[in-house]
Amino acid sequence: MSIVNIDYIFKITVIGNVCTGKTTLIEQLKYPSIKSDNEIYLSTIGVEYQTVMMKYEKEQKTIKLGIWDTSGDEIFASILGTYYNNISAIVAVFSSDKADSFENVVEKIKYFREKYGNHPRILLIRNKNDLVNKISQEEINEVIRRYNCLYFSCNSLTGENVFQAFDTLKNNIYQTFLSSGLDDKFPGITMINKDVDSISPYYSCWDFLW
């Protein structure tokens, strides 16, 4: 059995309308060899926690992404506010064929930038890029520019660009953290080897929450 020493945990929250493919996206990142069944749609109830291990190759660091997968159902809006605090990044997902899912996620991005400033990295994802595209690239580019977002166009069923999107986000968080001078006080980042004795290499229970 090989033991994995985690160097950092990056907390990330995934947002977006119902049925934009948030859960499928995370499952694709976690289990790339298992193909999703398009017929199955199990709406997320409230929020789920998923973890994915990644490497920051340049410095040989092992990073665990602690991902809050939120429901897009407005019925849960009042409880989801907690999951926007103390996170290193937001992944904002819209569905290529649903213009309202884009408008809604842009409203949320605007809210995050107004409330939390430029701190959390924002990864905007156009998911379901196999379906008709109802949002122009000009509109998307304007949001990327205005709110300082990373952007990828993905297909969560085939896995197209899914790993690349999260890998770029993870590198971007790491580099922003390094250049921040905040050391271990960077919101949404836990430095494991520095903060915690290595009791278990995997930790758990939502990795210390916040």
Ligand X SMILES: Nc1nc2c(ncn2[C@@H]2O[C@H](COP(=O)(O)OP(=O)(O)OP(=O)(O)O)[C@@H](O)[C@H]2O)c(=O)[nH]1
Where does this chain bind ligand X (CB under 6 A)?
A: 16, 18-24, 36, 38, 41, 43-44, 71-73, 127-128, 130-131, 155-157
Q: Which does 130 bind (CB under 5 to 8 A by kind): ligand X, Mg ion, none?
A: ligand X
Which positions from 1 to 40 touch Mg ion by CB under 5 A, shown as an x/- string? ---------------------xx-----------------
CB contact set of 78 (below 8 Å; sequence gap of 6+): none
Q: Which does 128 bind (CB under 5 to 8 A by kind): Mg ion, ligand X, none?
A: ligand X
State the nearest-atom distance from the C-beta of 29 to ligand X, in Å: 12
User: Interface with Mg ion includes 44 (CB under 5 A)?
Assistant: yes
Q: Which does 41 bind (CB under 5 to 8 A by kind): Mg ion, ligand X, none?
A: ligand X
How many Cα atoms sit within 13 Å of 22 on the Cβ side?
A: 33
Per DSSP, the residues of 8-37 read EEEEEEEE-STTSSHHHHHHHHH-TTSPP-
Return the number of other C-beta atoms located less than 10 Å from residue 134's C-beta.
14
State the nearest-atom distance from the C-beta of 74 to ligand X, in Å: 10
* Side chain identity, residue 99: A
Is the separation of the CB atoms in 20 and 110 below 8 Å? no
Point out which residues bind Mg ion (CB under 5 A): 22-23, 44
